[in-house]
Amino acid sequence: MNKLLDSFSNFTYRNKNFIFLSFLIVPLLWLGIVYLGSLLIFLGHSFFHLDGFTGQIVYEFSFKTLTELFSSPANIDILIRTVGLATCVTIGSAIIGFPIAYYMAKFTSPKVKIFLFIAIMLPLWSSYLVRVYSWKLILAKEGIINWFFEKLNLEWLLDTILSTPIIGGPSLSISYIGMFLVFTYIWLPFMILPIQASLERVPNSLINASHDLGANKRQTFYKVILPLALPGIIAGSIFTFSLTLGDYIIPYIIGTSKFFIGQAVYTHQGTAGNIPLAAAFSLVPIMVMVVYIYFAKRMGAFNAL
């Protein structure tokens, strides 16, 4: 046995790549075949199209489906709606998340920092579905938000918000505002942590140098701290943006009848069996994120991850 091991060890000494390859082969095969294969086949369907009469997929290369995607006003609406919401969610979570990240990075002792880190990750560790569900409770007509507005005699304010065109709706739990709140809530930790990491890397000596050179606190914040936190903000935005683009559960539960990309994909591949169109829709968030990540990388976001 020992002799066998010895010769094996000798062999790997002379052929260093052997171990490396033998490790890589299994996961690579799995991912390559099971995952990548399925993915490419599915996405490849966007170059086929659905025959209007037979309801069958025609396996011939064509741009019909892609043109259909971008020419139908209803579809364009879906795309704009989703990208618009993703943008708002990104901005919203950046604004809400920044104070927490800043406080945590610069004004806490290591012990408190760990406590805060756990506090921020806690919601993330509790089931996604449960967290979405919690907002159904909160946004319900008889729920806590309503109660809150009632107690402060501000019902009129709530009604005004709800009657605002586009973002309003019959109730908070069926409106864009509601969706905005839920999305922002769900992805918030993803935004906070990269910002905190970036800010942590800003040495205090820079801030001292800025003061030493005559800048007051506000100027230091806008000229030194914020620009250095920007890669972190952008890194966080990659998550909030892409996760919102692809989500179909939250629009399903909190949304109106107006579709988002995720729901469009879901419905088209469902009973209609229009896999080509579903695939075409799926391409959009992927392409958007590819471009987004390219620019994010150039702005240094990857250093903040």
Partner 1 sequence: MLKALNLKNINKSYGLIKALDNIDFTVNDGEFFSLLGPSGSGKTTCLKVIAGFEAPDNGNVSIFEEDVTNIPPFKRHVNTVFQDYALFPHMNVRQNVGYSLKVQKMKGPSMNRKIDDILEIVNLTGYDLRKPSELSGGQRQRVALARSLINKPKILLLDEPLGALDLKLREKMQVELKNIQRQFKITFIYVTHDQQEALSMSDRIAVFNNGKIEQIDTPANIYSKPINSFVAEFIGTTSIFNKDSAMKLFNIDKAFSVRPENIIIIETEKDLAAIDKKQYFITNGTIVDCQFQGSHLKISYAIDNNCKLSVFKSLEGNINQKYDINTKHTIAWKRIDITTLNE
Partner 2 sequence: MLFRKGTINRLNQAGLGLRFGAIAGLLFLHIPLLLIILYAFTTEDKSYQFPPPGYTLKWFEVVLNRQDIWDAVSLSMQVAITSTFLAIILGTLAAGALYKTSFFGKSSITILIILPIALPGIITGISLRSTFGVLGIPFSTWTIIIGHATFCMVVVYNNVVARLRRTSPNLIQASMDLGANNLQTFFYVILPNMGTAILAGGMLAFALSFDEVIVTTFTSGQQTTLPIWMFSELIRPRQRPITNVVAVFMMFITFIPIVFASYMASKTSESEGSTK
Which ranges in 15-72 belong to alpha helices (H)? 17-29, 38-44, 64-71
Q: What is the DSSP letter of 209?
A: H
Answer with the entry of partner 1, partner 2, none that 137 interacts with (C-beta below 5 to 8 A by kind): partner 2
The conformational region for residue 162 under phi > 0 = left, psi -120 to 50 = alpha, else beta, is alpha
How many angstroms separate the CA atoms of 272 and 294, rounded? 35
Answer with the entry of partner 1, partner 2, none that 84 interacts with (C-beta below 5 to 8 A by kind): none
Answer with the entry of partner 2, partner 1, none that 47 interacts with (C-beta below 5 to 8 A by kind): none
Q: What is the DSSP letter of 297?
A: H
Please state the φ and ψ torsions of residue 58, each to the nearest 5 degrees. -95, 115
Enter the tokens of residue 213. 């050179």
- CA end-to-end span of the chain: 46
The residue (of 111 and 165) whose beta carbon lies closer to partner 2 is 111
The residue (of 176 and 281) whose beta carbon lies closer to partner 2 is 281
Answer with the entry of partner 1, partner 2, none that 36 interacts with (C-beta below 5 to 8 A by kind): partner 2
The residue (of 87 and 146) whose beta carbon lies closer to partner 2 is 146
Answer with the entry of partner 1, partner 2, none that 129 interacts with (C-beta below 5 to 8 A by kind): partner 2
Q: What is the dihedral of CA 177, 182, 184, 189, to 10 degrees?
A: 170
The residue (of 165 and 212) whose beta carbon lies closer to partner 2 is 212
Q: Minimal distance in Å, beta carbon 165 to partner 2?
A: 27
Answer with the entry of partner 1, partner 2, none that 26 interacts with (C-beta below 5 to 8 A by kind): partner 2
Q: Minimal distance in Å, beta carbon 90 to partner 2?
A: 16
Q: What sign does the dihedral 102-108-114-120 (CA atoms) show?
A: negative
The residue (of 14 and 218) whose beta carbon lies closer to partner 1 is 14
Q: Minimal distance in Å, beta carbon 58 to partner 2?
A: 16
The residue (of 53 and 107) whose beta carbon lies closer to partner 2 is 107
Q: Minimal distance in Å, beta carbon 12 to partner 1?
A: 8
Contacts of 108 (CB under 8 A, 6+ apart): 116
The residue (of 31 and 157) whose beta carbon lies closer to partner 2 is 31
Within positions 104 to 123, which residues make up the interface with partner 1, using CB under 8 A?
none
Question: By CB under 8 A, is residue 54 in contact with partner 1?
Answer: no
The residue (of 9 and 54) whose beta carbon lies closer to partner 2 is 9
Answer with the entry of partner 1, partner 2, none that 14 interacts with (C-beta below 5 to 8 A by kind): partner 1
Q: Minimal distance in Å, beta carbon 304 to partner 2?
A: 16
Cβ contact 299:234 at 8 Å: yes
Angle between helices 275-298 and 64-71 (to 10 degrees): 70
Answer with the entry of partner 1, partner 2, none that 189 interacts with (C-beta below 5 to 8 A by kind): partner 2
- The count of other CB atoms within 10 Å of the CB of residue 52 is 6
Burial 138-168 (b: 16+ CB within 10 A, else e): bbeeebebbeebeeeeeeeebeeebeeeeeb
* Residues 6-35: x where in contact with partner 1 by CB under 8 A, - otherwise, as a string: ---xx--xx---------------------
**Contact set with partner 1 (CB under 8 A):** 9-10, 13-14
